[in-house]
Amino acid sequence: MKYIITLLSLVCLFQACQQPTERMEGFEVHGIDVSRHQYLINWDTVAIQPIDFVFMKATEGEELVDRHFKHNWETVKSKGIKRGAYHFFHPTLSPLQQATNFINTVPLEYGDLPPVIDFEVTNGASDTTVINRLQSWISLVEKYYQVRPIIYTNQKLYKRYIASNFDDHIIWMARYNTSAPTMMENKKWHFWQYGNRGTVKGIKGDVDLNVFNGSYLELEKICHSPSAALAE
C-alpha cells in the first residue's frame, strides 16, 4: 500500500509539472526566472507585462557560465525590472571555485536582488558535506558582496538541510502546487516558484513563474543597498 501511495504521489507530481502554469492570483509582486533554456528573450515585450522581478542563471559548478547571462543581466536593468542572479550549486565540487565563478561573472549593483544559491542536488554527498559546503559558498559570496545570499531549494531539501541551519536567510521555495510552501517553526517563505510551464510574451517556450511574499516596497527593502551593506 505504501508503495502504491508513493507511486500515485509521483504520478500526480509529474502531471502537475506537465500542466500549463496559470498566473497565481492574490499576490502583489510577480516574477520569473530564466536561463539559456529560454534562448534569446525579447525583454521589450516582457517589460510591458506585469513582471516585477527576474532571477537569471549566471553560473553552475566551478566553470560554467550561462551563455545568455550577460545579455539578460544588462538588458533587464535597462527595462526597469528588478534583477537577480543565481548559481547552480554542486556539493561535490569546491565551494571556493564555485563562489569564484559566480563572483567573476556577476557585477552586482545597488538595487539588485541578493545573489542566489540554487540548491537542488546533493550529488550523493553526505549531509555534513552538503551543509558545510553550502555554508562555505554562502560565506564567501556574502563577504564579497556584503549582502546575505538567498537560498533557493525545494520542500524536501529545505527540511533536511536548510531548516535549523540557515534560518537567517531569505528562502526561495520551489513547490509546483496551488498550496503555498510549508516552513518549519512558522518561518516565512519569501519567494515561491509555483510552476515551470508558464507563458510570458517575449519568451519562447515555458518559463518558471514566481511570487514574492510581500509588497513591492518590501521587495525593494531586501535589495542590495548602501545602507544594507553598511549594516552588515
Q: Which residues contact 81 (CB under 8 A, 6 or more apart)?
A: 43, 46, 47, 51, 52, 53, 54
Q: How many CB atoms lie within 10 A of CB 24?
A: 16
**Catalytic, out of 22, 74, 109, 120:** 120
**Catalytic, out of 33, 112, 118, 208:** 33
Q: Which residues contact 186 (CB under 8 A, 6 or more apart)?
A: none
What size, in residues, is the chain?
A: 232
- Please count the helices (runs of H) and the strands (runs of E) in the chain: 8, 9
Catalytic site residue 25? no
Taking the C-alpha atoms of residue 105 and residue 98, their distance in angstroms, rounded to an integer, is 11
Are the beta carbons of 206 and 187 closer than 8 angstroms? no
Are the beta carbons of 172 and 191 closer than 8 angstroms? yes
Catalytic site residue 120? yes
Q: Which residues are catalytically annotated? A: 33, 120
